[in-house]
Chain A
Amino acid sequence: MPQAGCGTYPRKVISHLFNPYNWGDAIDLARRPLILFLLFCLWSIGSARADGRFGTPDWVAPDSLHGNAFALDGPRVAPRDHERGWETALRAPFRVVTLPVRLLASGLEMGIGFLGPRYLDPKVKAPPRGGFKLTPNIAYGAPKDMGIGPALSWSGLPEVDAHFKLAGSWSASDRRRASLNAELGERRPLALQLRATYDYEPNRRYFGIGNDTQESQRSYFLLERVSADATVRLGASPLRQLRLGGGSSSMSPRRGTQDSPFLEDVFAPGITPFEREATGALWYGVSGDLAALDQGRDPSRGLHARVDLRRAMGMEGDDPDFDQWRLEGRAYLPVFAKRRVIALRAVYAGVEPKGDSPTLPFYRLAASEGGNRFAGFASERFRDRQLLLGRLEYRWAILYRLNAIALYELGEVAPHKRAFRLKSAHRSYGGGLRFGLNETRTLRCELARSDEGLHAVVALRGDF
């Protein structure tokens, strides 16, 4: 490889003087003897130059490119920069048309710019400092049920690993929620959680009881729920945890106030059990998670079992006693690579009356909602004593933490387990996106089709 050497002074001088690249500078330099002197000094120590890679030095860079000193005043290389006139003319109509979108993007940019430093900046994990904090509280749910309100939290009460939170929210559809949550030993293997909630939901859906109800029978009712419970938690990891708990739950159905038609306008009186009757129950039970997964947030291999068993006793004479359960199994299998996964999920949920309680209130039956929702159907579309759901998903990573999913699902409700029939199961298929937020929470956007049309779901759930 040819390497350049250093030229002798006369050769450099000649090259410099004859090189047109230097002429503009030469004019500058002639005006400024001081700079000329400085450059001469630099030039004289030029023998310290390293060998360049670009051939012999018959081309010599103008000295004004080097050294630390040069004139503050002098010419610019080009006039001010402006968009080409014809380009402005070409773009102007499109700019006018897209103005609303651009304004929206600017607004989002400003909003993220404002919120980012408060919520997105990486923070050093320091021990939580005790103290009282008042923050906004957003309650997730259906778009109309997105509630907002205040949250009052107090970390370190009464000790370091304790947390207390009182939150309330109110949505545009008049859904009112309040919760009180106190946790002792947040990140410890043994923890105690006390919880009380109030939920006033004026637009719950009801389609009737059973697997063959009609979508055209959609109706609405109001359900007011008050619950309080205490849970002892064994195990710090949410994936290996046993929970023992007990508490009370009271539910009160009434005539809806928001969407219509109302339940009583669609179903004849007496058909719907406990149509207007509130019930209360004291319960105790055990729940837990046991998982063997290769990773918590986006598992690609492993098994996960979830169990929730409860026994409830009516609080008053007419209130029914019942057993309630929810069993869930998940399995993950990679397809030649961790980024492609087949995920299976099966849910068996139910409620069974005990002793002298032949019927159960319609609002305590297992319903296809939340984690039990059937993908291609409206939320709460089916309800009965037992519910079975099986889902097969193919997930593949398309971006950091973001997976695309293709899903196929079978779901069915029945009065007892022998009544389940594969041919009467409701089928859904579709696809969507899944974003793993952390080990216990994912954001899912799904679009699924069934014989009742297309249904979209955006859910921020702590599962699957």
Chain B
Amino acid sequence: MRRAWLCLVWCILGPACVNATMSIAQAAAVDPKIDERTWVDHDRRPIPQPAEWEPSFWGQQFRQGFSDPVAHIFDIPDKLLWFTQGLGARRHREAVNVNAFDEVPRSSWFTNRNHMRAVPIAQLRQGPDSVLQPAKPWTIKKAKQGGRNAGFQIKDADGKRWLVKLDARGHAQLSSGADMISRTLIHASGYNVPHNEPVRFSRADLSIDPELLSGAKGDKFTEADLESVLVRGAVFPDGRYSATASLFLSGKVLGAPSMNRLRPGDSNDWYTHRHRRELRGLFVVCAWLNDWDTKDHQFLDIFTETRDSLGHVEHYMLDVGASLGAAAMGPKDPWSGFEHAIDFPWTARRLLTLGFVQEPWRRANQNTGIPSVGNFESKEFQPGSFRPLLQQPAFRELTDRDGYWGAKIVASFSDAQIAAAVEAAHYDDPRASEFLTRTLIERRDKTARYWFARVAPLDFFAVEGSTLRFHDLAVDIGLEGARAYDVELKSTRGGTSQKLRLDGAELPLGKFDKDTPRLELEIRVAGNRARAAYVELTRTGSTWTVTRVRHG
């Protein structure tokens, strides 16, 4: 009996001790400064190149599509935490790479862009690189490997390397248009994406590299192979082909990251990827754009050398063509974006109702009738119910705070910016541009309404003189009219609590006792159940400064 008890104690305490020891050991080995108020998370410190590694594609599909969801259903500790939430237990851990102002500092994963400072239209349209189109003629250097689209790798007339992916036959501009719009908006949101452009080319623009043609270096790609690729591609009425050209990223390809673990050999990679705010918040952006294919292999790590064989890892989001109403082989399946490939809750509902339950995607009128748009809509779109193809671990960890952060990014796009992103796809069919602009605006507004109803959209706190000013984002973007705010104020001196009502987004600070060193404010929208914003103010001399912010 005693031995059994010892075993049990060992089982419980052993891993915890190992965990703690590892933390201490790692902290001792690398001793960087921690500054929770930084706006740059310095994860580009020079390191030797990590070994190439990526999770197995099919293994990951099995894990994210089947074993993880099943494990989650039978996750007893998670259920215990759910039961004890009333006692203060937190089931979901908050994102770890968030600074004191509840924002994501700039890093090799993310750069704060549109929600911090509106990206100019020209810059938004340009995307990640200054070059606009691959210069013709093109020389085919290699056949495309992997993925469902037909395509090939080319070297353009300027010597740049691109990956060309053809749109599915009968659907010119479907995937390439969706890719262009999504990559433009995702890049402006702050994520790293490769420079993709929709292109048109004719057979005469192509030639096959002689070495590839002869198979001198192993790979062989003949004229017949090229014909078999082109025959699968979409053609414009003038006979040219419709495709996406993706500029090769500079640096050494390391492979896709795993959302469940850190990259081996990358000592800058500190935070488990599913606990990164920008990856959790990406759920909201993907929901907006219906970017339904977000498996780990849609990301790519690149080693960028800076000096003396040392460098750092940059993290990119790839291949966003499976978004809006598109899929690689044509219009997306109606259920894409509404259900996971293996969706246990919906499967159970269908099973138990003998198939008589009507899923939202069946109610939704998704068929636009526009070949270059595919299946897309906004009426049945529920921002919180978006489901990517596979359960993305980072998305599963999403909390309201992460969701609010993502919604703030989505809401930051103006109608003009959305229209510019759509225009960048150069649709031949004017119905496509009009429909996509309108639908994206409607989805953006739905996204903002949904998340701003969960977390009070009170943000950008700043002290001007002796007044604390903030923004009500819902008011700023016109979702709500002017409204009042309830403030619960706690001063650390004596721990007194005071309640105030504000008629506008400003709070005079002059009336507070000069001896009060710090103020804690809990601000909520009057008469609204959205979770409050928490602000901490610290006095230095006669000046107040905002030292901490938390949403929800």
Residues of A at under 8 Å CB distance from B?
1-4, 15, 18-25, 28, 48-55, 58-59, 61-62, 64-66, 70-96, 98, 102, 105, 108-110, 112-117, 120-122, 124, 126, 337, 339-340, 394, 396-400, 404, 406
A residues in contact with B11, CB < 8 Å = 92-93, 96
Q: How far is the CB of B179 from chain A (nearest CB, A)?
A: 19
Chain-A contact segment, one of B15-23, B162-170, B235-243, B371-379: B15-23
B residues in contact with A79, CB < 8 Å = 23, 27, 34, 270
Q: How far is the CB of A69 from chain B (nearest CB, A)?
A: 11
Are B23's CB and A80's CB within 8 A? Answer: yes
Are A78's CB and B97's CB within 8 A? Answer: yes
Are B39's CB and A81's CB within 8 A? Answer: no
Are B34's CB and A77's CB within 8 A? Answer: yes
B residues 408-433 touching A (CB-CB < 8 Å): 411-414, 416-417
12 more contacts with CB within 8 A, not counting A21-B462, A114-B56, are A15-B462, A19-B462, A53-B414, A65-B39, A72-B45, A76-B35, A79-B270, A81-B96, A85-B16, A92-B12, A121-B146, A398-B347
Q: How far is the CB of B458 from chain A (nearest CB, A)?
A: 11
A residues in contact with B157, CB < 8 Å = none
Q: How far is the CB of A398 from chain B (nearest CB, A)?
A: 4
Residue pairs across A and B with Cβ atoms less than 8 A apart, 12 shown, are A25-B38, A49-B118, A55-B471, A59-B471, A64-B39, A73-B42, A78-B98, A80-B270, A89-B12, A96-B11, A109-B56, A396-B354
Q: How far is the CB of B348 from chain A (nearest CB, A)?
A: 8
Are B45's CB and A20's CB within 8 A? Answer: no
A residues in contact with B460, CB < 8 Å = 54-55, 58-59
Are B116's CB and A51's CB within 8 A? Answer: no
- Nearest CB to that of A20 among chain B residues? B545
Are B478's CB and A49's CB within 8 A? Answer: no
| Highest count of chain B CB atoms <10 Å: which of A22, A58, A397 | A58
Are A109's CB and B96's CB within 8 A? Answer: no
Top 4 nearest A-B pairs (CB, nearest first) are: A116-B58, A396-B355, A113-B59, A113-B56
Q: Is B382 among interface residues, defined by CB-CB distance under 8 A?
A: no
- Nearest CB to that of B107 among chain A residues? A77
B residues in contact with A72, CB < 8 Å = 42, 44-46, 306, 312
- Give B426-455 as 1s and 0s: 1 = Cβ < 8 Å from A's Cβ atoms: 000000000000000000000000000000
A residues in contact with B113, CB < 8 Å = 66
B residues in contact with A92, CB < 8 Å = 11-12, 14-16
Size range of the interface on B? Answer: 35 or more
- Give B460-483 as 1s and 0s: 1 = Cβ < 8 Å from A's Cβ atoms: 111110000101010111100000
- Give B39-78 as 1s and 0s: 1 = Cβ < 8 Å from A's Cβ atoms: 1111111100000000011111111000100010010110
Are A93's CB and B12's CB within 8 A? Answer: yes
Bound-state CA distance A394–B351 (Å) is 12
| Highest count of chain B CB atoms <10 Å: which of A77, A92, A115 | A77
B residues 110-143 touching A (CB-CB < 8 Å): 111-121, 123-124
Q: A61 with B37: in contact, given A89-B12, A89-B13 (CB under 8 Å)?
A: no
Q: Is B526 among interface residues, defined by CB-CB distance under 8 A?
A: no
Neighbour of B71 across the interface among A4, A25, A105, A115, CB < 8 A: A105
| Highest count of chain A CB atoms <10 Å: which of B74, B341, B351, B355 | B355
B residues in contact with A339, CB < 8 Å = 355
Are B67's CB and A109's CB within 8 A? Answer: yes
Q: How far is the CB of B20 from chain A (nearest CB, A)?
A: 6
Q: How far is the CB of B194 from chain A (nearest CB, A)?
A: 17
Neighbour of A94 across the interface among B76, B112, B312, CB < 8 A: B76
Neighbour of A75 across the interface among B38, B412, B416, B469, CB < 8 A: B38
Neighbour of B469 across the interface among A58, A95, A340, A396, CB < 8 A: A58
Q: Is B390 among interface residues, defined by CB-CB distance under 8 A?
A: no
Q: How far is the CB of A91 from chain B (nearest CB, A)?
A: 5
Q: A113 with B57: in contact, given A24-B39, A76-B42 (CB under 8 Å)?
A: yes
Bound-state CA distance A85–B22 (Å) is 12
Neighbour of B77 across the interface among A62, A91, A124, A399, CB < 8 A: A91
Neighbour of A24 across the interface among B15, B35, B414, B478, CB < 8 A: B35
Q: How far is the CB of A8 from chain B (nearest CB, A)?
A: 15
Q: Is B228 among interface residues, defined by CB-CB distance under 8 A?
A: yes
Bound-state CA distance A103–B96 (Å) is 29
B residues in contact with A83, CB < 8 Å = 19
Q: Is B484 among interface residues, defined by CB-CB distance under 8 A?
A: no
Q: Is B80 among interface residues, defined by CB-CB distance under 8 A?
A: yes
Bound-state CA distance A88–B71 (Å) is 17
A residues in contact with B81, CB < 8 Å = 90
Q: How far is the CB of B461 from chain A (nearest CB, A)?
A: 7
Bound-state CA distance A54–B118 (Å) is 9
Bound-state CA distance A28–B512 (Å) is 33
Q: Is B105 among interface residues, defined by CB-CB distance under 8 A?
A: yes
B residues in contact with A25, CB < 8 Å = 38-40
